[in-house]
Structure 1
Amino acid sequence: MALSTLHNVRFAGMASCVPRRVVSNLEDCPPAQRSERERLVRNIGIQTRRLCPDWQCFSDLALVATEKLLQDLQWQREEIDALIVITQSPDYLIPSTAIILQDRLGLPHSTIAFDVNLGCSGYPFGLHLLGSMVSAGGVKKALLLVGDKSGSYDDPLFSDAATATALQFDADAPPMFFDLNSDGSGHKAIFKPVGGHREPFELHHGIPIRAEDGTIDSWPGDLVLDGPAVLSFSTQRIPPAVLRTLEYAAVEKEAIDYFVFHQANRMINETIRKKLALPVEKVPSTLADYGNTSGATLPLTMTARLHETLAAGRHKLLLSGFGIGLSWGTCILDVENAVFPAIIEA
């Protein structure tokens, strides 16, 4: 297990952006599927989702979120020393989306810019990666952009979003505590087998897989999701990781103001909450309104449910992201008088 502490890093602010298009899992489905969808919504807890139009990329949402964050922070572009993008929805296979956004945002050529390929666990990993650069002292102001364009009209689980987080060097900042883990033996639990070098996309991958009645059931290039494996992994690995991080940080569970978990689905999140005996009011959720937005779920939930609270006073948060990889990360941090604009639609 990778337990570590970062010093000198201030959480300066956060902004989140979602597409304007709202899709209902109940209203926007074929009438024949209504009863099945009602049962599904009861289990996963997702009523509506946000979907990008075809022309809109994750980076377009990230650009809007970052512009708003820089404006509210009153940071100058030439002050930004590093830009890290964590996404599995890049604009292109190459080059990295971070370098494209460095140019679109008008950041100086001296800005360090690169991508990280992580999904649901990406936010804690990104905070640690960027925070390590800030903690070392060479990077004074930096941006972490996290999110994905992972939703589709027919899939009731995933949704689209992008978030921007600002970190700043501050010798007086309280420490951040991390526990980051990976288990590649479970990589096929959440898996997109087609499109990489192991199995390049070919003509036969464009032929749909049909159900017995002739309707399209799926496509060879679709995401493969092993629900039972993900449920088992999430509910068995995350509660011990939370307790381990609390012990490492010497923080009592009661001292945490809010526990923000990756918004996987209602069954997983409620099982984790109950195993940890956490009160509902300390565990904010955005599943019903925004669905599973992959790596963006932690910052999106902070923005949607806590932005006014976190913009005033000091609060201690425990963040836990988990999923594709398999990977999982937990962090404890203090947020004091940070910039937190309301969710932006674009």
Structure 2
Amino acid sequence: MTDHAVFTTTRRVLLVVVVAVQLVLTLPALVEHHQSPAPWIAYALLCCVLAIVAGHVAAGRSERFPAVEGAVVLVSSVLATTALPDQTSFGPADWAFGLIGWYLLLVLVERPALLVGALAAHVCFSVAWFAHAGNGDVGTAGVVILSGTSFQVGVLVITRVLVRDARLAAAAAAEHDDARTREELARQREQDLKAGFEGQLGALLPLLADLADERVSVADEATRLRCSVAAVQLRRLFAENDDVPDPLLHELTACVDVAERRGVAVSLAVSGTATPVPTEVRRELVAPMAQALAAATGRAKVSLLRTPTEVRVAVVADAGGVLPQRGTAVTVETSVHSGLVRSEARWRTT
């Protein structure tokens, strides 16, 4: 439940209370004890405020001008209190004292500080008028003040507790939703990683099966090339999931590291600043270079060029039998001359 829902429900209940008190308790007292126009004007002003609040409650809206409505209620309090007959303050003729407190609750329930100030002003003025005019018994006045204001303050306290609980519940629900979202994102990421690993292992499993069944031998050049390609691909896949500032360069370096472990002399040249590159595009940019490095036997040169409009990954290696690569997001050009393979992958950022 939100703050608005708490205040709307509270105002509906208070509206019923005010209507009941005004019609059942205060109207007969007004008719019986007052003949001057001032208390009737106060009563009419309160009815106007009641009609406005009822319209807002029916429409499900908050009060637009609660401070103005509170001021009208206090004016009604002054008119009704100053028109009391002699010796009748806090007695049956003082119909407005308790009713004004309920009205203040009705219009200012969303403004606790303003409500407390208005209630205090109402009580202080009533007590000051009582002391000034000497109207009535002090004990009776104390009982009326205590019984009326304590119940109204209790309603205010209960409302604030409900608002606090609603906010705590909303915060807990939001935290739960955030946790569910993070959990779902983590699960989705895990599934993506699993799918990626399965794709790479799908290319590796036939090789492992052939080696296990002795259908191929590591002494065979083609088998060694397949193993080398699988090693570079797996190393690139592991690097793909690392959290680094420059993922593309990190994946290129991982492939270069595998080639260097095989004894290939690799030089890496980097130009330009890091540019955000989607994962699928990085895979297609790195794939031709990774295959060339896997097939390289002696030396290779890798270059990474980044401009505001284009990213290029090129490799020149003394490798044979490298198949041309194709990409959906990048343009790949591969050529072989005199035992040297030249491959370049280009991706336009715009």
**Shorter-normalised TM-score: what interval?**
under 0.3
Structure number with greater Rg is: 2
Q: TM-score, normalised by structure 1?
A: 0.20
Structure in which a larger fraction of residues adopt strand: 1
Q: TM-score, normalised by structure 2?
A: 0.20
Structure in which a larger fraction of residues adopt helix: 2
Of structures 1 and 2, the one scoring higher in RCO (CA 8 A, sep 6+) is 1
